[in-house]
A and B are shown apart, each in its own frame.
Chain A
Amino acid sequence: MNKNKKPQLKPKNIKGTLLRLFSYYRFYKGLFAIGILSIIFASLAEVAATGMLSPIIDVFVSDGILKDAIRYILIMAVFVIIIALGQYVGNRTMASLAQKIIHKIREEMFSHMEKLPISYFDSHSHGELMSTFTNDVDMLNQSLEQAVSQIIVSTITVIATYTMMIIISPILTLVVTIMLVIMFFIIRFVGSRSSNYFRNQQIRLADMNGYIEEMMSGQKVVKVFNYEERAIDDFKNRNDQLRKSSSRASTFGVMLMPIMGNLTYMLYSVIAMLGSFLVIKGSISLGNIASFLQYTRTISRPITQVSNQLNTLFAALAGAERIFNVLDQEVEMDEGDVRLVRDYNGPGKHGWKVPNKDGSFDMVELNGHIRFDNVDFGYVPDRQVLKNINLYAKPGQKIAFVGSTGAGKTTITNLINRFYEINNGSIFYDGIDIRRINKMDLRSTMSMVLQDVHLFEGTVADNIRYGRLDASDDEIREAAKLANAHYFISHLPKGYDTMLTVDGLNLSQGERQLLSIARAAIADPEILILDEATSSVDTRTERLISEGMDKLMEGRTTFVIAHRLSTVHDSNAIMVLEQGEIIERGDHDDLMAEKGRYYALNAGIIELD
């Protein structure tokens, strides 16, 4: 997998993405109308206010009747107030709309993420998803906040200004039009060069970031090998390349401002010159020139602004596409109609309520029988990971899986709780096909303890309570004691109320593992899945953990995946997996007597990867 995948800068389907984005505004039609109208009024008022320069100056220059001047100035003042009010109301409304929509999108994304099947997380790296959540949403936020109103303002301003110009002087307008066409081509030229350089810079930047990431992660190795000098030389090369491409990209990026600004001044000069001829000829007034000169400035500004924003806008749309792509992923299906009924037959006696076709239903006691019947499974259609798996676990039994990485151990356990759907065969839970069981109910009867323990931000108690939200403080303490976690917890600065932050207080790997066992214990599950739960701790800590686990396993059907063979020898049955098939099965003594693969593993003749 290539971690430094180049970010997609150009959207693939502009129209579809835009339409979908705008569909979010439908929830806020009223606000949207107010916002747009306010902005339009403000833009029109701005053009009109500039237009007022013409009569006011003419009054003063020609007859100097103050009463007329006052009237015009008052009209202009009214326009100014409309500008200020319109901009305030419009921008505020649009900003609040942008916030609301981004808020909604974020919520939809998160809620959707929670419902995505596990297979989605397998095929997409966390970094990728995180970047969609942060960078893409951020970009979209900025664009919604600014670009939408800016494009509206620009369009209205250009149209209105153009109309006013034609009214004042069609000839001068022709000159402006020619100049604008020239400007357009210059923008296009500079813009395409600049986006080429920009792309080049992005590539160099990605290369540099990849290199830095690698060197920083391996910095200790660098030191151990005295590699510093060579690393510095290597870095210098890349740094120089990056500098050159950044300087070039940025030169073209900022160049547009002086070019457009001064082209506007050139237009201003030409208009001043030609306008003066027209005044001498008597076809326009001095005041007309004043307004027209201001207009040359107002008409080129939106063009520069929009062209400046275009790159950002495209990047934001590409991001929006990625966001929608996440939202379009199919969610986990749950069509199970068998429900779990707790305490249906006295406290602690739970049962499955199995509906029949005629509307009646049977009750089946919840015990924890698991049976695999000729199960085939592959993550992708044509690559089978598990082949023809058959196994039977009675309530309270401990079943162990042994085998190399990729042999399919973890996959088997992930089929029981329906993280993945099997291709062929069936899995029965207390005699019921698990596909018939409601997923939430199914999972509520199982707990998992995984190799990499990730805890949640919150207190120690919160983290244990994650297993059962209504657990009392006493129950939490009991669970911790059962898991052998109570001792270390009571030695933490604030005991059970100690805050665990992501990088704050660092519990050791073993302590985190004990917490996760307590978390599994409090859920009081019928089935327990222990996936390499002790492989990253040393033997002494492992003993502490396995004592906790032994107590936890009592009376529950347990599936154990272990790297270290010492943890599985007391299982009721051990399954040795190889390339998706069970090649040996039996208890420790059986398998040792068989002198097969399990024996070889124990004797250290072969390696587990």
Chain B
Amino acid sequence: MKKLLPLMRKYIVFAILSPIFMILEVLGDVIIPYLMSKIVDIGIANQDIDYIITIGIIMIIAAILAMVFGVSSSFFGANAGYGFAAEIRQKTFEKIQGYSFANLDSFTISSLITRLTNDCNTIGQVTMMSLRMAIRAPFMLVFALIMSFRINSSLAKIFLVALPVLAIAIFFTLSKARPLFLKLQTHVDKVNGVIQENLTNIRIVKSFNRQDFEEAKFKKRNDNLMYTAFKAISYIIILMPVFNLVVYSTIIAVLWFGGKQITIGTMTGGALISFITYITQVLMSLMMISMYFMNLLRGSASVSRILEVVNTESEINEISMPIDEVRDGSISFENVSFTYPGSSERTLKNINFSIKSGETLGIIGSTGSSKSTLVQLIPRLYDVTEGSVKVGGVDVREYDMEILRHKVSFVLQKNTLFSGTIRSNMKWGKEDATDEEIIDALKNAQAWEFVSSYDDGLDHIVEQNGDNYSGGQKQRLAIARALLKSPKAIILDDSTSAVDMTTDAKIQKAFKENLPDVTTIIIAQRISSIEHADRIIVMHEGSIESMGSHEELLEKSPIYKEIYVSQQKGVIGQ
């Protein structure tokens, strides 16, 4: 929490004013019953109409002022709360922008989304509550207590019994109910689990005729949920009657002892009536305090989830005097090993190779052979555990990261287009790209053909995730976007899997002819995508099994040959 509080700075005035105005409102609310007792005791007793009017008007003014103070406090509180939430959201988002890939892997996407949305909102609400309710309730309690002691201190001693009784009752109920509510959540999750599972598996459920089986499973969990919910709620239900019991018992006690004092003349009727109002104010405040604590728990869960994000430090750090020019696109791996954070097994083992600037390198191997991991080390998406990766003859850790990633373009396996237009997506590669540059890149990626067929061309809309394009089109757009960076090296991580072979061949040809100086690394499942590469690496279980040209590998690599043969099966010329 200490870490987040400084984020309040921008809204500190609101955060200070809100409680102050709240206290002023409470003062007004507490003074009114006291004034009322004066009307009764002095005004009525002396039949002094002027006095009654004067005090009455003062009361009305007090109520109006209290209203103004209250509304102001709402305004300040809401601005402070949601301002604070916005600052936290901003800070969290910025933190995530600074994450490394390894950091990102340690959170699921959906959990990051929840943190940025729900958790931040909850913090806003709870902050507002802390500035208002958490101030109002205790001050009201104390002020009303002071007033009741001033009116009649011997009668006010009844509070010394009533308050602890109510407090214990609240504490007992909530401490019983809380674990049950936590348990309730797991039951809710279980029920939702079956629903989710059935939604995704509905075809399987139906084709195996398992509807009754699933319904039985659901019924069991649904029953459990109901029982637990009812058990938890049955504790909360006690609160209201107990509260009323305490309030009315206190009123009865006050009436009895106060009444006896009236008969002997040590108390007045007006004082007794105002006392009754203070009883509700005091005890109601206690209830509000307990409610606040319940909400606070919700807020603290959100805070700790936010802190988890904010406290995660990216382990990819830049050195103090980074190199800001990449000389050429040559790449070399020297004794490189890599272990994913939290894993005990080495994912890459002792990798050694080097390619010259402008060369094309193909990488092939089965899933899990760590092809992607290998290439992700080049633009420092991950840092090596041992050894050194060099681009342009310099260890990648010595570069300014932005420059490095700008010059080493990477087309991810799971690529995302963003909602907008084709042009807005292309500008990710180069912010000030001209239409000519964009069209050029689209041509090289063999995407211009379909883009130019749209009436609105570059302004053609891109839906979220690029859902309105086919897999092959999306991949080609992603390649064009990466080309716009005018990189010295480009890495295609299985980026043409949905593109047909002819187009794939055209892309390779365009790369060779139009981008002769750009080093190209292609990871592929299809041999045809890489067979013309200058060199091909065959990966197997985290190591290089062999390396060479297509012809050489057919001779010396059994894995390569196996893949080749299986892909030739059924194809002409067998």
Contact between A57 and B569, CB atoms less than 8 A apart = no
Question: Chain A 64-96, CB within 8 Å of chain B: the 1/0 string?
Answer: 101001000100110010011101100110011
Tell me, yes or no, whether B291 is within 8 Å of chain A by CB: no
* Nearest A residue to B568, CB-CB: A566
Contact B465–A217 (Cβ < 8 Å)? yes
User: Which stretch (B144-152, B158-166, B220-228, B296-304) binds chain A?
Assistant: B220-228
Among A111, A417, A467, A540, chain B packs the most CB atoms within 10 A around the CB of A540
B97 touches A228 (CB 8 A): yes
Q: With a CB–CB cut-off of 8 A, which chain B residues contact A225? A: 405, 428-429, 481, 485
- Contact status B56-A269, CB under 8 Å: yes
Q: Hey, what's the 0/1 contact readout for A264-290 against B, CB within 8 Å counting as 1?
A: 011011101100110110000010011
Q: With both chains docked as a complex, state the minimum distance between the C-beta of A17 and any C-beta of chain B, in angstroms.
A: 22
Partner of A100, one of B116, B226, B252, B481: B226
Q: In the complex, A163→B170 CA distance in Å?
A: 34
Closest residue of chain B to A272 (Cβ to Cβ) is: B36
The docked-state distance in angstroms from the alpha carbon of A523 to that of B195 is: 24
Instruction: Say whether B56 contacts A272, CB under 8 Å.
Output: yes
CB distance from B194 to the nearest CB of A (A): 8
Question: Are A224 and B410 in contact, CB atoms less than 8 angstroms apart?
Answer: yes
- Contact yes or no, A259 B79, CB < 8 A: no
* Cβ-based interface call for A255 (8 A): yes
Closest residue of chain B to A595 (Cβ to Cβ) is B572
Given A92, A133, A539, which contacts B234 in the complex, CB threshold below 8 Å?
A: A92
CB of A447 within 8 Å of the partner chain = yes
Query: Is the interface on chain A under 10, 10 to 19, 20 to 34, or 35 or more residues?
Result: 35 or more
Contact B209 A133 (CB under 8 A): no
Please encode chain B, from 96 to 109, with 1 for each CB lying within 8 Å of some chain A CB and 0 for all others: 11110100100011
Q: Mark B239-260, 1 if CB is under 8 A from A, else 0.
A: 0111011001101100110111
For residue A603, which residue of chain B has the nearest CB?
B572
In contact, B502 and A607 (Cβ under 8 angstroms) = yes
Q: Which chain B residue shows the least CB distance to A418?
A: B206
Are the CB atoms of B90 and A608 closer together than 8 Å?
Answer: no
Q: Are A268 and B32 in contact (CB under 8 A)?
A: yes
- Shortest CB–CB separation between residue B261 and chain A, in angstroms? 9
Chain B, 189-246, CB within 8 A of any chain A CB: 191-211, 213-215, 218-219, 222-223, 225-226, 229-230, 233-234, 237-238, 240-242, 244-245
In the complex, the chain B residue whose C-beta lies closest to that of A501 is B193
A540 touches B74 (CB 8 A): no
**Contact residues in A for B245 (Cβ distance below 8 Å):** 80, 83-84
* Selected interface stretch from A231-239, A344-352, A387-395, A575-583: A231-239
Contact of B203 among A118, A226, A606 (CB under 8 A): A118
Q: Does B282 contact A (CB under 8 A)?
A: no
User: Does A114 make an interface contact (CB < 8 A)?
Assistant: yes
**Is B542 in the interface zone, CB < 8 Å from A?**
no
- List of B residues within 8 angstroms of A261 by Cβ: 29, 70
B323 within 8 A of A: no
B110-159 at interface with A (beta carbon < 8 Å): 112-113, 116-117, 121, 124-125, 128, 132
**Could you tell me the distance in whole angstroms from the C-beta of B562 to the nearest C-beta in chain A?**
7
B313, chain A: closest CB distance, angstroms:
16
- Complex Cα distance, B124 from A223, in Å, reads 29
- Closest-by-CB residue of A relative to B368 is A508
- The reply to whether the CB of B52 lies closer than 8 angstroms to some CB of chain A is yes
Q: Which B residues lie within 8 Å of A448 (CB)?
A: 203-204, 207
Q: Which of the 9-residue segments B61-69, B390-398, B436-444, B510-518 touches chain A?
A: B61-69
- Whether A262 pairs with B368 at a CB distance below 8 angstroms is no
Question: Which of B256, B470, B570: most chain A CB closer than 10 A?
Answer: B570
Within 8 Å of chain A (Cβ to Cβ): is B181?
no
Please classify the interface of chain A as helix (H, G, I), strand (E, B), loop, or mixed, using the class held by over half of its residues.
helix
Q: Tell me if B367 and A510 are in contact (CB < 8 A).
A: yes
Cβ-based interface call for B412 (8 A): yes
Determine whether the beta carbon of A469 is less than 8 Å from that of B213. Answer: yes
With A and B bound together, what is the CA distance between A80 and B73 in angstroms? Answer: 36
A539→B104 CA distance, assembly (Å): 30
- CA of A254 to CA of B131 in the docked complex: distance in angstroms? 12
The residues in A between 207 and 237 inclusive whose CB is less than 8 angstroms from any CB of B are 208-210, 212-214, 216-228, 230-232, 235-236
Q: Which residues of B contact A253 (CB under 8 A)?
A: 78
Max chain B C-beta neighbours (<10 A), residue from A99, A450, A467? A99
Find residues 498-531 in chain B having any chain A CB closer than 8 Å to their own CB: 498-503, 525, 528
Smallest beta-carbon distance B504→chain A, Å: 8
A242 to B83, CA, bound (A): 10
In the complex, what residues of A have CB within 8 A of residue B206's CB?
118, 419, 443
Q: Mark A120-132, 1 if CB is under 8 A from B, else 0.
A: 0100001001100
Give which listed residue, B60, B240, B429, contacts A91 with CB less than 8 A: B240
Assess whether A540 is in contact with B563, with CB atoms less than 8 Å apart: yes
CB proximity to B under 8 Å, residues A21-43: none
Would you call A276 and B90 a contact (CB within 8 A)? no
- Whether the Cβ atoms of B195 and A130 lie closer than 8 Å is yes
Inter-chain contacts of A316 with B (CB < 8 A): none
Please measure, in the bound complex, the distance between the C-alpha atom of A569 and the C-alpha atom of B381, giving whole angstroms: 41
* Interface presence of A466 (CB below 8 A): yes
B47 in the interface, Cβ–Cβ < 8 Å? yes
The distance from the CB of A130 to the nearest CB of chain B, in whole angstroms, is: 6
A340 to chain B: closest CB distance in Å? 11
A258, A280, A456: the one within 8 Å of B73 (CB): A258
Task: Please give, as numbers and ranges, the residues of chain B lying within 8 Å of A447 by CB-CB distance.
Answer: 207-208
Query: Complex formed: what's the CA distance from A440 to B252 in Å?
Result: 70
Interface string of A481-496 (1 = CB under 8 A from B): 0000000000000000
B418 part of interface (Cβ distance < 8 Å): yes
Q: Which residue of B lies closest to A86 (CB)?
A: B241
When A240-B86, A250-B128 are in contact, do A218 and B572 touch as well, CB less than 8 Å?
A: no
The residue among A107, A208, A276, A509 with the most chain B CB atoms within 10 A of its own CB is A276
Contacts of A321 in B (CB 8 A): none
B109 touches A217 (CB 8 A): yes
- Looking at the assembled complex, report how far the CB atom of A94 sits from the nearest CB atom of chain B, in whole angstroms: 9
Q: A289-B40, A443-B209, A540-B366 are in contact. Are A209 and B113 (CB under 8 A)?
A: yes
Shortest C-beta distance, B416 to chain A (Å), equals: 4
CB neighbours (8 Å) of B280 from chain A are 297
B416 touches A217 (CB 8 A): yes
A605 to B19, CA, bound (A): 74
Option from B70, B83, B222 in Cβ contact (under 8 Å) with A262: B70
Quick check: is B566 within 8 A (CB to CB) of the other chain? yes
Asked if A259 and B67 sit within 8 Å, CB to CB, the answer is yes
How far is B368's CA from A510's CA once the two chains are assembled, in angstroms? Answer: 11
Residue numbers in B under 8 Å from A543 (CB-CB): 566
- Known contacts A56-B255, A443-B206, A603-B572: does B117 contact A262 (CB below 8 Å)? no
B25 at the interface (CB under 8 A from A): yes
Measured CA separation A592–B202 after assembly (Å): 38
A363 at the interface (CB under 8 A from B): no
The 8 Å CB contact of A270, one of B33, B56, B214, B470, is B56
Decide yes or no whether B329 CB sits under 8 A from chain A: no
Complex interface residues of chain B between 30 and 66 (CB less than 8 A to chain A): 32-33, 35-36, 39-40, 43-44, 47, 49, 52-53, 55-56, 59-60, 62-64, 66
B193's contact among A100, A502, A565, A606, by CB below 8 Å, is which?
Answer: A502
Partner of B74, one of A106, A255, A270, A405: A255
Cβ contacts under 8 Å, A446 to chain B? 207
Identify the interface centre among B59, B206, B241, B379: most chain A CB within 10 Å of its CB: B206
Instruction: Tell me which residues across on chain A come within 8 A of B230, comparing CB atoms.
Output: 95-96, 99
Which chain B residues (373-412) contact chain A, with CB distance < 8 Å?
379, 381, 402, 405-406, 409-410, 412
Interface check B464, CB cutoff 8 A: yes
List 4 other contacts, CB 8 Å, given A226-B406, A239-B90, A607-B499: A114-B205, A134-B195, A250-B124, A254-B74
A-B contact pairs, 16 of them (CB 8 A): A77-B252, A87-B241, A96-B230, A214-B418, A216-B112, A223-B381, A239-B90, A247-B83, A254-B78, A263-B67, A273-B55, A457-B193, A569-B570, A604-B500, A607-B472, A609-B472
The 6 A-B pairs of least Cβ separation, nearest first, read A258-B70, A607-B500, A604-B501, A273-B56, A569-B570, A269-B59
